[in-house]
Amino acid sequence: SWQQVHYHAGGLRLNPNLYGNGNVCLSLLNTWSGSRNEKWTPGVSTMLQVLVSIQGLILNAKPYFNEPGYASTSGTQNGEAQSLKYNENTFILSVRTMMYTMKKPPKNFEDLVVGHFYSRAHDILASCKAYMEGVQVGCLVKGGVQDVDEGGGKSSDKFKADLLKYVKLLVKEFEKLGVKDCKKFISPTPTPLKLTTPKPTPSKLRTTRGKK
Protein backbone atom coordinates (compact mmCIF):
# COMPACT_ATOMS: atom_id res chain seq x y z
CA SER A 1 0.00 0.00 0.00
CA TRP A 2 1.56 3.30 -1.08
CA GLN A 3 -0.10 5.13 1.80
CA GLN A 4 2.64 3.62 3.99
CA VAL A 5 5.44 5.34 2.07
CA HIS A 6 6.93 8.05 4.24
CA TYR A 7 9.65 10.68 4.20
CA HIS A 8 12.40 10.61 6.84
CA ALA A 9 11.62 14.14 8.01
CA GLY A 10 13.16 14.13 11.45
CA GLY A 11 10.18 16.16 12.61
CA LEU A 12 10.93 18.98 10.14
CA ARG A 13 8.36 20.13 7.60
CA LEU A 14 10.38 21.70 4.80
CA ASN A 15 7.68 21.57 2.14
CA PRO A 16 3.87 21.88 2.11
CA ASN A 17 3.73 18.33 0.69
CA LEU A 18 6.32 16.79 3.04
CA TYR A 19 4.97 16.63 6.57
CA GLY A 20 7.02 16.51 9.73
CA ASN A 21 5.48 13.14 10.58
CA GLY A 22 6.77 11.65 7.31
CA ASN A 23 3.56 11.85 5.29
CA VAL A 24 4.05 12.61 1.59
CA CYS A 25 1.07 14.49 0.16
CA LEU A 26 0.71 13.37 -3.45
CA SER A 27 -2.21 12.19 -5.57
CA LEU A 28 -0.16 9.30 -6.94
CA LEU A 29 0.26 8.00 -3.39
CA ASN A 30 -3.48 8.37 -2.70
CA THR A 31 -2.70 10.93 0.01
CA TRP A 32 -4.26 13.84 -1.91
CA SER A 33 -7.28 14.27 -4.13
CA GLY A 34 -6.92 13.78 -7.85
CA SER A 35 -8.48 12.30 -10.94
CA ARG A 36 -8.43 8.56 -11.58
CA ASN A 37 -5.43 8.89 -13.89
CA GLU A 38 -3.52 10.87 -11.26
CA LYS A 39 -3.89 8.22 -8.56
CA TRP A 40 -2.01 4.98 -8.03
CA THR A 41 -3.10 2.20 -10.36
CA PRO A 42 -1.94 -1.29 -9.32
CA GLY A 43 0.00 -3.01 -12.08
CA VAL A 44 0.38 0.22 -14.03
CA SER A 45 1.91 2.89 -11.78
CA THR A 46 5.63 2.62 -11.00
CA MET A 47 8.15 3.81 -8.46
CA LEU A 48 9.75 5.90 -11.20
CA GLN A 49 6.49 7.84 -11.55
CA VAL A 50 6.53 8.50 -7.82
CA LEU A 51 10.09 9.85 -7.91
CA VAL A 52 9.46 12.00 -11.00
CA SER A 53 6.28 13.41 -9.43
CA ILE A 54 8.11 14.28 -6.22
CA GLN A 55 10.91 15.93 -8.17
CA GLY A 56 8.67 17.92 -10.50
CA LEU A 57 5.59 18.69 -8.40
CA ILE A 58 6.97 18.91 -4.86
CA LEU A 59 10.64 19.90 -5.07
CA ASN A 60 10.10 22.93 -7.30
CA ALA A 61 11.60 26.44 -7.13
CA LYS A 62 8.64 27.98 -5.29
CA PRO A 63 7.07 25.37 -2.97
CA TYR A 64 5.12 28.06 -1.09
CA PHE A 65 2.56 28.00 -3.89
CA ASN A 66 2.07 24.23 -3.49
CA GLU A 67 -0.43 25.14 -0.78
CA PRO A 68 -3.83 25.36 -2.51
CA GLY A 69 -4.74 28.50 -0.57
CA TYR A 70 -1.63 30.34 -1.72
CA ALA A 71 -1.51 29.26 -5.37
CA SER A 72 -3.69 32.21 -6.43
CA THR A 73 -1.16 34.71 -5.01
CA SER A 74 1.59 33.58 -7.41
CA GLY A 75 2.87 36.58 -9.36
CA THR A 76 1.59 39.15 -6.85
CA GLN A 77 3.98 41.31 -4.84
CA ASN A 78 2.84 39.90 -1.51
CA GLY A 79 2.78 36.33 -2.77
CA GLU A 80 6.31 36.51 -4.17
CA ALA A 81 7.59 38.11 -0.95
CA GLN A 82 6.03 35.33 1.12
CA SER A 83 7.46 32.76 -1.28
CA LEU A 84 10.98 34.12 -0.83
CA LYS A 85 10.56 34.11 2.95
CA TYR A 86 9.32 30.51 2.76
CA ASN A 87 12.33 29.53 0.63
CA GLU A 88 14.70 31.00 3.20
CA ASN A 89 13.07 29.02 5.98
CA THR A 90 13.07 25.91 3.78
CA PHE A 91 16.80 26.20 3.17
CA ILE A 92 17.47 26.42 6.92
CA LEU A 93 15.36 23.29 7.40
CA SER A 94 17.24 21.63 4.53
CA VAL A 95 20.56 22.25 6.28
CA ARG A 96 19.12 20.79 9.48
CA THR A 97 17.84 17.82 7.47
CA MET A 98 21.33 17.23 6.08
CA MET A 99 22.76 17.07 9.59
CA TYR A 100 19.95 14.80 10.75
CA THR A 101 20.51 12.48 7.78
CA MET A 102 24.25 12.24 8.40
CA LYS A 103 23.68 11.47 12.07
CA LYS A 104 20.87 8.97 11.45
CA PRO A 105 21.07 7.70 7.85
CA PRO A 106 18.19 5.48 6.67
CA LYS A 107 18.84 1.78 7.13
CA ASN A 108 20.75 0.21 4.22
CA PHE A 109 21.54 3.67 2.81
CA GLU A 110 24.45 4.47 5.11
CA ASP A 111 27.15 4.25 2.42
CA LEU A 112 25.06 6.28 -0.02
CA VAL A 113 24.61 9.07 2.53
CA VAL A 114 28.31 9.21 3.39
CA GLY A 115 29.37 9.13 -0.25
CA HIS A 116 26.90 11.82 -1.29
CA PHE A 117 27.80 14.32 1.40
CA TYR A 118 31.52 13.61 1.16
CA SER A 119 31.55 14.36 -2.57
CA ARG A 120 29.13 17.31 -2.45
CA ALA A 121 30.19 18.99 0.80
CA HIS A 122 32.11 21.83 -0.85
CA ASP A 123 29.31 22.52 -3.36
CA ILE A 124 26.79 22.69 -0.52
CA LEU A 125 28.99 24.98 1.56
CA ALA A 126 29.73 27.20 -1.45
CA SER A 127 25.99 27.72 -1.90
CA CYS A 128 25.59 28.48 1.81
CA LYS A 129 28.41 31.02 1.64
CA ALA A 130 26.84 32.75 -1.36
CA TYR A 131 23.49 32.96 0.43
CA MET A 132 25.15 34.37 3.54
CA GLU A 133 26.72 37.03 1.33
CA GLY A 134 23.34 38.09 -0.02
CA VAL A 135 22.54 35.90 -3.03
CA GLN A 136 18.82 35.09 -3.16
CA VAL A 137 17.99 31.55 -2.08
CA GLY A 138 17.47 29.29 -5.08
CA CYS A 139 19.63 31.34 -7.45
CA LEU A 140 22.91 29.50 -7.02
CA VAL A 141 23.87 26.44 -9.06
CA LYS A 142 27.33 24.88 -8.48
CA GLY A 143 29.14 28.15 -8.03
CA GLY A 144 27.23 30.03 -10.73
CA VAL A 145 24.26 32.32 -10.31
CA GLN A 146 21.04 31.36 -12.06
CA ASP A 147 17.96 33.56 -11.74
CA VAL A 148 14.82 31.76 -10.58
CA ASP A 149 12.70 34.60 -11.88
CA GLU A 150 13.14 37.99 -13.49
CA GLY A 151 13.21 39.80 -10.15
CA GLY A 152 16.30 38.43 -8.43
CA GLY A 153 16.13 39.78 -4.87
CA LYS A 154 18.49 39.50 -1.93
CA SER A 155 18.42 37.26 1.12
CA SER A 156 17.26 38.82 4.40
CA ASP A 157 19.59 39.74 7.26
CA LYS A 158 17.77 37.38 9.63
CA PHE A 159 18.21 34.50 7.22
CA LYS A 160 21.93 35.20 6.80
CA ALA A 161 22.45 35.27 10.57
CA ASP A 162 20.45 32.07 11.12
CA LEU A 163 22.21 30.29 8.29
CA LEU A 164 25.67 31.11 9.66
CA LYS A 165 24.74 29.43 12.93
CA TYR A 166 23.69 26.21 11.23
CA VAL A 167 26.51 26.20 8.68
CA LYS A 168 29.02 26.10 11.53
CA LEU A 169 27.30 22.94 12.78
CA LEU A 170 27.13 21.55 9.25
CA VAL A 171 30.88 22.03 8.83
CA LYS A 172 31.48 19.91 11.94
CA GLU A 173 29.39 17.08 10.48
CA PHE A 174 31.28 17.23 7.18
CA GLU A 175 34.59 17.15 9.04
CA LYS A 176 33.46 14.00 10.84
CA LEU A 177 33.16 12.41 7.38
CA GLY A 178 36.74 13.40 6.64
CA VAL A 179 36.01 16.34 4.35
CA LYS A 180 38.91 18.83 4.33
CA ASP A 181 39.03 22.63 4.03
CA CYS A 182 35.46 23.24 5.18
CA LYS A 183 36.10 26.17 7.50
CA LYS A 184 37.05 28.46 4.62
CA PHE A 185 33.37 28.63 3.70
CA ILE A 186 32.36 30.26 6.98
CA SER A 187 34.97 33.03 6.90
CA PRO A 188 33.97 36.30 5.22
CA THR A 189 35.20 36.91 1.71
CA PRO A 190 37.86 39.63 1.83
CA THR A 191 36.91 42.84 0.06
CA PRO A 192 39.23 43.35 -2.93
CA LEU A 193 41.44 46.43 -2.79
CA LYS A 194 40.65 49.11 -5.34
CA LEU A 195 43.71 50.71 -6.93
CA THR A 196 43.15 54.27 -8.07
CA THR A 197 45.45 56.55 -10.02
CA PRO A 198 45.87 59.91 -8.25
CA LYS A 199 44.62 62.84 -10.28
CA PRO A 200 47.07 65.67 -10.94
CA THR A 201 46.53 68.84 -8.92
CA PRO A 202 45.42 72.07 -10.66
CA SER A 203 48.91 73.56 -10.24
CA LYS A 204 50.51 70.60 -12.01
CA LEU A 205 47.99 70.89 -14.79
CA ARG A 206 48.90 74.56 -15.33
CA THR A 207 52.61 73.72 -15.28
CA THR A 208 52.12 70.99 -17.85
CA ARG A 209 50.18 73.30 -20.13
CA GLY A 210 52.83 75.95 -19.78
CA LYS A 211 55.53 73.57 -20.98
CA LYS A 212 53.54 72.75 -24.08
Which are the catalytic amino acids?
Answer: 25
Mean local confidence (pLDDT), 105-131: 95
Contacts of 152 (CB under 8 A, 6+ apart): 136, 139
CB 58 within 8 Å of CB 15: yes
Q: Where are the domains of the chain?
A: 1-59, 74-190
Average pLDDT of span 26-37: 87
pLDDT in tens, 192-205: 445 555 555 554 44
Model confidence pTM above 0.85: no
Euclidean distance between CA atoms 92 and 160, whole angstroms: 10
Better-predicted residue by pLDDT, 33 or 89: 89
Confidence grade of residue 88 (pLDDT, cut at 50, 70, 90) = very high
Q: How confident is the model at residue 139 (pLDDT cuts 50, 70, 90)?
A: confident
Determine the pLDDT at residue 201.
53
Residues 58-73 pLDDT 10s: 999 999 999 888 999 9
From residue 100, alpha-carbon distances to 9, 44, 76, 87, 113 in Å are 9, 35, 35, 19, 11
Longest dimension (CA), the chain: 95
Q: Please tell me the predicted confidence (pLDDT) of residue 30.
A: 86
Can you say whether the dihedral through the CA atoms of 178, 179, 183, 186 is positive or negative?
Answer: negative
Mean pLDDT of the chain: 84
Instruction: Tell me which of 53-57, 109-113, 200-204 is least confident.
Output: 200-204
**pLDDT the model gives residue 141:** 56
Question: What's the CA dihedral at 45, 49, 53, 54 to 10 degrees?
Answer: 110
| Helix/strand/coil for 145 | strand
